[in-house]
């Protein structure tokens, strides 16, 4: 079975993501991604597939999966019966190998973490006191801001790099056979959006970039990104707006609105509130020092 390349739905300007899932089940898509992944099962049971290993899973299991390692958690049949009293729950921390800079892993001090990355290509199941400490940090990272989350991820990796409370999962290091055509196509779309999101981008335009018809592109992007293209474009624009609100405290929200590619304030405010839970003004007040508004 060929694994699918999966786009982790993190902020496009971020190198990491933490999610606390409560879902009917964990899906059934055999997939891989370039991010490493800490995965803690809070509630749920079934069969997991990691590389060439097939094993049962249940609540309390903590794994570290390396970049490109295909995996899937298939819950038991009871989780697919649409019974609202039966749900699966997990905390997931995903991060790119160079999440704090491409030169980090070249530092002598980072050698233990670099070695840990190599081990993670087989997948690691973590137990004992190491598991308990990492799980606490994972829950802390759910509500942490971006910088605090980076510190927590480094702490998790440093702790695990010194521990022997882990076992390999797959029988050998694994790297998913990359679909070069899909990888190159989706990366072309990403690059084009990041270069042009300040301007209108039509479906015809972006379909041409991907060398697909408009209908095929919509289907393709939804399969790859698990969201529509315009949802993705909106997230890129809001991500840029969040940065401008903090880095340019003198800029007006109206100016930021048009700088990010939105054509009216109402549209901008609506999308910003939907994605962040705050208005642009509330977001700025939350993350800027109080003296800025004095």
pLDDT for position 291: 41
| Helical residues (DSSP H) of the chain, grouped into ranges | 111-120, 128-143, 146-161, 180-196, 203-209, 214-225, 229-247, 253-259, 265-276, 280-287
pLDDT tens, the chain, 294 aa long: 567 777 777 766 678 889 999 999 998 778 888 899 999 999 999 989 898 888 889 999 999 999 989 899 989 889 988 898 999 999 999 999 988 887 888 889 999 999 999 999 999 999 999 999 999 999 999 999 888 999 999 999 999 999 999 999 998 887 655 556 666 787 788 778 888 999 999 999 999 999 999 999 999 888 776 689 998 899 888 888 888 888 888 899 999 999 999 999 999 999 999 988 899 999 888 877 554 544
Domain boundaries, the chain: 4-168, 180-293
The dihedral region occupied by 126, where left means phi > 0, alpha psi between -120 and 50, and beta the remainder, is beta
pLDDT for position 227: 80
pLDDT for position 14: 75
pLDDT for position 270: 95
- Structure tokens, 159: 């702790």
* Local structure of 91: helix, strand or coil: strand
**Class at the top of the CATH hierarchy for domain 4-168:** mainly beta
Q: Among candidates 65, 167, 70, 158, which has minimal Cα distance to 112?
A: 158
> What are residue 40's phi and psi, to 5 degrees?
-115, 125
According to CATH, the topology of domain 180-293 is: Arc Repressor Mutant, subunit A (1.10.10)
User: Taking a C-beta distance cutoff of 8 angstroms, is the pair 26, 75 a contact?
Assistant: yes
pLDDT for position 13: 64
Alpha-carbon distance of 167 to 246, in angstroms, equals: 43
- Structure tokens, 276: 């962040």
Q: 133: exposed, middle or buried (C-beta count within 10 Å: 0-12, 13-18, 19+)?
A: middle
């Amino acid at each position: 079975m060929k694994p699918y390349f999966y786009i982790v739905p993190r902020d496009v300007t971020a190198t990491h993501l933490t999610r606390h899932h409560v879902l009917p089940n964990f899906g059934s898509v055999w997939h891989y991604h370039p991010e490493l992944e800490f995965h803690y099962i809070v509630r749920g049971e079934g069969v997991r597939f990691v590389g060439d290993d097939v094993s049962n899973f249940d609540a309390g299991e903590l794994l570290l999966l390396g970049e490109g390692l295909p995996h899937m958690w298939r819950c038991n049949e009871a989780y697919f019966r649409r019974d609202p009293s039966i749900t699966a729950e997990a905390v997931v921390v995903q991060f790119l190998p160079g999440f704090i800079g491409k030169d980090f892993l070249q530092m002598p001090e980072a050698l233990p973490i670099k070695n840990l990355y190599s081990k993670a290509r087989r997948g690691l199941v973590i137990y004992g006191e190491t598991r308990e400490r990492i799980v606490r940090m994972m829950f802390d990272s759910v509500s942490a801001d971006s910088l605090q989350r980076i510190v927590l991820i480094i702490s998790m990796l440093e702790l695990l790099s010194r521990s022997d409370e882990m076992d390999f999962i797959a029988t050998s290091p694994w790297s998913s056979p990359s679909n070069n055509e899909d990888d190159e196509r989706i990366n072309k779309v990403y690059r084009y959006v990041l270069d042009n999101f300040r301007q209108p981008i039509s479906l015809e335009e972006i379909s041409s970039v991907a060398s697909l018809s408009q209908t095929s592109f919509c289907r393709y992007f939804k399969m790859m990104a698990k969201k529509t293209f315009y949802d993705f474009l909106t997230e890129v624009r809001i991500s840029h707006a969040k940065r401008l609100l903090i880095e340019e405290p003198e800029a007006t929200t109206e100016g930021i609105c048009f700088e990010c590619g939105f054509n009216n304030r109402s549209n901008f405010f609506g999308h910003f509130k939907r994605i962040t839970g705050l208005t642009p003004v509330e977001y700025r007040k939350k993350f800027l020092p109080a003296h800025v508004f004095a």
